[in-house]
């Protein structure tokens, strides 16, 4: 067979997402209405096949044909994405999935008090975006390449970040997704899709107010992270039967703020805290831009950060007081 006169840039690969409205975790059910994600990079998925490579029998100290074994059903596939955050259906789907939201619309996505996502049986009808998603990675020329389709994905980690010194403080995202179903690694899905627009992004400079530990602060950068691991169980011919969630959904904020008359007492507050702060723990006020709000939390670290001016690195973990949401994110513009 002769070599093929084609080569692909990594930037020619696109990434699409759609909610599994029916038959959660089933490949090949989405032929249209997929949403393109604005990704900087798509890491090659961790396929995590099970292999037996130990020498077991025969003459000599070498692996024999009869010793090799591989299973590609009972495994967890993991995919990592990162890129620019948009106020559109596709990017809201990722956030809505880990928040357990019923619809990825312009309303706030919330980690409510007592937050818990109910386990979803693969192959069953679904009721909301918290069930599962299908992710498709597709090259620009499907006649000379095949796409990768990952049904039954759930978002296990989602981060929103912005840095005043990077892309003008434009909001970015990163996400980790996992699936307990067998992927289609020769897919032609995503024939019909909606592209993202460059008018649906926001910047840190759009915010009308910042509070850290209830203090007015000058924010240089931040990362807000939701972490909610998946747990897979049961056995079927196409992988795991059920996807649930672990015992804790955590919300954390890591930020860098200016050291000044407002914030000088944060080191002492961290050292002497005896209970969670009950209001305005971390807030980026929505002013026609993205808003982030954690009412209650504890400081998990405060440290000097030396640069052209003195800054403070501050880490926060949200705390459930039984009433207030651990996190509210407003992506509406």
Q: What is the DSSP string of 119-141?
A: PEETTS---STTS-EEEEEE-S-
Q: What is the pLDDT of residue 144?
A: 61
Query: How high does pLDDT run on average in the chain?
Result: 87
Confidence of residue 83 (pLDDT cuts 50, 70, 90): very high
Most confident of 17-21, 75-79, 238-242: 75-79
pLDDT given at position 190: 58
pLDDT at 208 over 80: yes
Is the pLDDT confidence value at 29 over 70?
no
Environment class of 141 (CB within 10 Å of its CB; exposed 0-12, middle 13-18, buried 19+): exposed
What is the pLDDT averaged over residues 188-211?
82
Per-residue pLDDT at 299: 97
Tell me what pLDDT residue 188 has.
66
Q: Given this model, what pLDDT does residue 26 score?
A: 64
Contact 200, 331 (CB under 8 A): no
Band (238; pLDDT cuts 50, 70, 90): confident
What pLDDT, on a 0 to 100 scale, did the predictor assign at position 130? 61
Q: How far are the Cα atoms of 50, 55, 66, 68, 74 from residue 63, in angstroms, in the given order? A: 16, 5, 8, 8, 24
Is the pLDDT reported for residue 143 higher than 70?
Answer: no
Q: Is this prediction's pTM over 0.75?
A: yes
CA dist., res. 9 & res. 13, Å (int): 8
pLDDT of 106 over the 60 cut: no
70 pLDDT exceeds 60? yes
Average pLDDT over residues 169-191: 86
pLDDT of residue 9: 72
- For residue 312, what pLDDT is reported? 98
Work out the pLDDT band at 324, boundaries 50, 70, 90: very high
CB 130 within 8 A of CB 94: no
Asked if residue 129 has pLDDT above 60, the reply is: no
Residue 100 pLDDT level (bands cut at 50, 70, 90): confident
Q: Report residue 44's pLDDT band, with 50, 70 and 90 as the boundaries.
A: confident
**SS3 state at 146:** coil
The residue with greater pLDDT, 3 or 38, is 38
Q: In terms of pLDDT, which residue wins out, 304 or 108?
A: 304
Higher pLDDT, 125 or 296: 296
Beta-bridge mates of residue 284 = 210, 292
**Segment among 110-119, 120-129, 243-252 with least mean pLDDT:** 120-129
pLDDT of 6 over the 70 cut: yes
Task: Provide the pLDDT confidence category of residue 107 given band limits of 50, 70 and 90.
Answer: low
Q: Is the pLDDT of residue 160 over 70?
A: yes
In terms of Cβ atoms closer than 10 Å to its own Cβ (0-12, 13-18, 19+), residue 238 is middle
* Sign of the torsion angle spanned by Cα atoms 271, 272, 273, 279: negative
Within 8 A by CB and 6+ apart from 319, the residues are 276, 296, 297, 298, 326
């Amino acid at each position: 067979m002769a070599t093929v006169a084609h080569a692909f840039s990594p930037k020619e690969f696109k990434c699409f997402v759609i909610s599994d409205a029916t038959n959660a975790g089933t490949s090949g059910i989405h032929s249209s209405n997929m949403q393109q994600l604005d990704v900087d990079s798509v890491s090659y998925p961790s396929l995590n096949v099970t292999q037996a490579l130990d020498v077991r029998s025969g003459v000599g100290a070498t692996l024999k044909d009869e010793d090799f074994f591989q299973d590609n059903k009972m495994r967890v596939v993991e995919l990592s994405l990162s890129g620019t955050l948009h106020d559109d259906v596709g990017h809201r789907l990722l956030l809505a999935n880990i928040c357990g939201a019923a619809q990825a619309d312009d309303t706030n996505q919330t980690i409510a008090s007592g937050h818990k996502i109910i386990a979803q049986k693969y192959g069953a009808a679904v009721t909301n975006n918290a069930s599962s998603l299908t992710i498709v990675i597709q090259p620009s020329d499907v006649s000379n390449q095949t796409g990768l389709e990952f049904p039954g994905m759930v978002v296990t980690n989602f981060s929103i970040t912005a840095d005043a010194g990077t892309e003008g403080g434009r909001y970015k995202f990163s996400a980790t997704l996992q699936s307990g179903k067998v992927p289609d690694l020769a897919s032609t899905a995503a024939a019909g899709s909606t592209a993202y627009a460059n008018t649906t992004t926001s910047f840190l400079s759009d915010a009308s107010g910042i509070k850290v530990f209830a203090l007015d602060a000058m924010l240089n950068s931040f990362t807000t992270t939701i972490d909610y691991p998946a747990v897979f169980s049961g056995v079927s011919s196409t992988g795991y039967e059920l996807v649930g969630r672990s015992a804790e959904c955590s919300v954390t904020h890591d930020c860098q703020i200016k050291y000044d008359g407002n914030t000088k007492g944060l080191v002492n507050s961290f050292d002497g805290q005896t209970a969670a702060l009950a209001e305005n723990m971390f807030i980026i006020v929505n002013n026609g831009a993205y808003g982030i709000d954690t009412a209650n939390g504890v400081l998990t670290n405060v440290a000097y950060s030396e640069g052209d001016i003195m800054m403070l690195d501050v880490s926060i973990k949200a705390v459930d007081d039984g009433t207030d949401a651990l996190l509210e994110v407003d992506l509406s513009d």
